[in-house]
C-alpha cells in the first residue's frame, strides 16, 4: 500500500520545476510535473492528486484558466505560484478558486508548510462535513453549513471556498474578535504563518462586497481597529 500524498506541479520553467520536485519529494510526497497549462489541466482532472502547485504564466493555457477549470470539477487544494505580485492578480487567483498564493521567489520551508496545511485541511474536510450543524442566520444572510451554501434574501451567493470558510467561522463564533494571525491559523490552517497577512484583508474585502447591501455603512463583518475582525452577536 502506498500512502504517499501526491502533488501535481504545473510549471514551465524547468529549473523551478526541478527545485520544486526535489524539495517536495524530499519532504515525502509523490510528484508529477507538467510543463504547460493544457496538459497540467488534463493531469489535474484525473483526480488522483492531493494538491496542485500551479504557475500562472504558462504556455497553451494560463494558470487562471487551469484553476477555474479544475474548480468546476474538483476541490483539490491549489496553491498558485507566481512572479506577479500585484493585488488584482492575487484577487483574481483567489477568485478563480485557488486556496493559496505564493509570490516568487519564495522560501521552500514556507511553501512546504503551506503544502502541509492545505493537504491537512483537505483531508479533514470529510470529517468536518459530518459534524457541521444546520444553519446560522444573520439578518437576511443564511448559512447552510450542511451544504456549504450561503443565501442572502433567499438567493444563493457565489462564494469562494475561503470566503465561505471565513464567514462560517465568524458566524459560529459571533462576538469574538479575531486577529489576522488567528484567522490564518483557523481558516487557512497554518500553524506558523510568516507570510502575507493581506490575503486575509483581500478575502474579507471580497466577502463584504458579496454579503453586504450596496452602499451600506457598516459591514456584517466588522473591523476592530488595531485588533482584528468580528461579526457582532444577535444580528
Q: What is the contact surface with Ca ion in residues (CB under 5 A)? A: 12, 55, 57
Q: Tell me the closest approach of the beta carbon of residue 62 to Ca ion, in angstroms.
A: 9
Beta carbon nearer to Ca ion, 59 or 139: 59
Q: Which is nearer to Ca ion, 37 or 189 (CB)?
A: 37
Count Cβ atoms within 10 A of the Cβ of residue 68 and give its class: 0-12 exposed, 13-18 middle, 19 or more buried: middle
Question: Nearer Cβ to Ca ion, position 57 or 232?
Answer: 57
Residue with Cβ nearer Ca ion (55 or 163): 55
Q: Distance between CA 229 and CA 163 in Å, rounded?
A: 14
Nearer to Ca ion, 55 or 100 (CB): 55
> How near is the Cβ of 82 to Ca ion at its closest, in Å?
8
In a 10 Å sphere around its CB, with 0-12 CB exposed, 13-18 middle and 19+ buried, how is residue 38 labelled?
middle
Q: Least distance (Å) from Ca ion to the CB of residue 191?
A: 30
Q: How far is the CB of 12 from Ca ion (least distance, A)?
A: 5
Q: Is the peptide bond before 153 cis (omega within 30 degrees of 0)?
A: no
Nearest to 101, CA basis, from 131, 78, 127: 78
Cβ proximity of 94 and 160 under 8 Å? yes
Q: Which residue is nearest to Ca ion (CB)?
A: 57
Q: How far is the CB of 66 from Ca ion (least distance, A)?
A: 12
Instruction: Count how many residues are written for the chain.
Output: 235
Helix 14-26 and helix 108-131, axial crossing angle in degrees, nearest 10: 60
Amino acid at each position: 500500500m502506498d500512502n504517499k500524498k501526491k502533488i501535481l506541479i504545473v510549471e514551465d520553467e524547468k529549473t523551478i520545476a526541478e527545485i520544486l520536485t526535489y524539495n517536495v519529494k524530499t519532504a515525502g510526497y509523490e510528484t508529477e510535473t507538467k510543463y504547460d497549462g493544457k496538459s497540467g489541466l488534463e493531469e489535474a482532472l484525473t483526480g488522483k492528486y492531493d494538491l496542485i502547485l500551479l504557475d500562472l504564466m504558462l504556455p497553451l493555457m494560463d494558470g487562471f484558466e487551469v484553476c477555474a477549470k479544475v474548480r468546476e470539477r474538483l476541490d483539490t487544494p491549489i496553491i498558485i505560484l507566481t512572479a506577479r505580485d500585484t493585488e488584482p492578480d492575487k484577487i483574481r487567483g483567489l477568485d478563480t478558486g485557488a486556496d493559496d498564493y505564493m509570490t516568487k521567489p519564495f522560501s521552500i520551508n514556507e511553501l512546504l508548510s503551506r503544502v502541509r496545511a492545505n493537504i491537512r485541511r483537505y483531508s479533514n474536510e470529510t470529517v468536518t462535513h459530518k459534524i457541521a450543524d444546520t444553519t446560522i442566520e444573520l439578518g437576511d444572510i443564511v448559512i447552510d453549513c450542511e451544504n456549504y451554501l450561503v443565501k442572502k434574501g433567499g438567493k444563493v451567493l457565489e462564494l469562494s471556498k475561503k470566503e465561505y470558510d471565513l464567514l462560517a467561522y465568524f458566524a459560529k463564533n459571533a462576538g469574538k474578535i479575531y486577529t489576522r494571525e488567528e484567522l490564518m491559523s483557523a481558516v487557512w490552517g497554518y500553524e506558523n504563518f510568516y507570510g502575507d497577512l493581506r490575503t486575509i484583508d483581500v478575502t474579507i474585502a471580497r466577502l463584504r462586497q458579496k454579503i453586504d447591501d450596496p452602499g451600506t455603512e457598516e459591514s456584517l463583518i466588522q473591523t476592530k481597529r488595531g485588533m482584528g475582525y468580528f461579526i457582532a452577536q444577535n444580528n
